Structure 1
Amino acid sequence: MDALLIVMTTFPDEASAETAIDGMLAARLAACVQQMAPVRSSYRWQGQRETSVEVPLMIKTTAARYSALEQYIKEHHPYDVPEIVAWPATAALPAYARWVEDETRGQLHV
């Protein structure tokens, strides 16, 4: 079984987040994307302190699909340097992990 990953990214608004979600699911780069409540992010960018409201996305995918997912986010994100952070799920319900793997391969597991 392929390793299950949780990937975190943020988008500047709900419209761009929803467009990205549609593309990730259609391309089977993710099995599930959770759109979280907007957050206030503070950071340094180009030497200046910035604050913005962003829409976080928590994406469930596999290690095998991570590179393609990362590329998709980079190509469809309005930021020059989008947040893309991934970590392995160290434990998961086996049936859920299989479902994620099946969905990101394009095979339906019913």
Structure 2
Amino acid sequence: MTNREFLVLTTTHDDEGRARELAAAAVRERLAACAQVYPVHSVYRWDGEVQEGAEWRVDLKTRAALAERLTAFLVERHSYRTPEVIGVPVVTGSAGYLDWVAAETA
């Protein structure tokens, strides 16, 4: 099934507990149907220097129509000064799963 009405919004956090709290809060608020939290090792430029460290990536499945609300929600609750929030459109997916995402988000 091809459908661009859905997206995966991604953010990262340096604390697993906070990443899980952020994921759970977004699902509770029905801004995302589900979220996965998993460890990653990030390399990035910050304050003019290359830095690296452990982070927890959060992938949130949602409807594209909720992207702005979910982004604002994540930024407002995030401890980073400039949190990553990137949306990637879902270009294909199973009809049943996408129906479920639609039903679980408000």
Could you tell me the TM-score, scaled by structure 1's length?
0.88
Pair 1:23 & 2:25 matched: yes
Deviation at 1:19, TM superposition (A): 1.1
Question: Structure 2 CA distance, aligned partners of 1:34 and 1:40?
Answer: 16
Query: Which residue is equivalent to 2:6?
Result: 4
- Unaligned residue ranges in structure 1 (runs of 5+): 106-110
Deviation at 1:2, TM superposition (A): 7.4
Question: Structure 2 CA distance, aligned partners of 1:2 and 1:91?
Answer: 8
Matched position secondary structure for 1:80 = coil
CA distance change for structure 1 residues 50 and 99 in 2, over 3 Å: closer, same or farther? Answer: same
- Unaligned residue ranges in structure 2 (runs of 5+): none
Deviation at 1:21, TM superposition (A): 1.2
Deviation at 1:9, TM superposition (A): 1.0
Question: Structure 1 CA distance, aligned partners of 2:10 and 2:60?
Answer: 6
Pair 1:103 & 2:79 matched: no
Alignment of 1:1-110 (within 5 A): 3-36=5-38, 38-105=39-106
Q: Letter of the aligned partner of 1:60 in structure 2?
A: K
Q: What's the CA shift string for 1:66-95, capped at 9, x where partnerless?
A: 111100110111111111111111111111
Q: Letter of the aligned partner of 2:66 in structure 1?
A: R
Cα RMSD for the two superposed structures: 1.4
Contact 1:5 1:61 in 2 (8 A): yes
Query: Which residue is equivalent to 1:108?
Result: none
Percent identity over the alignment is 35
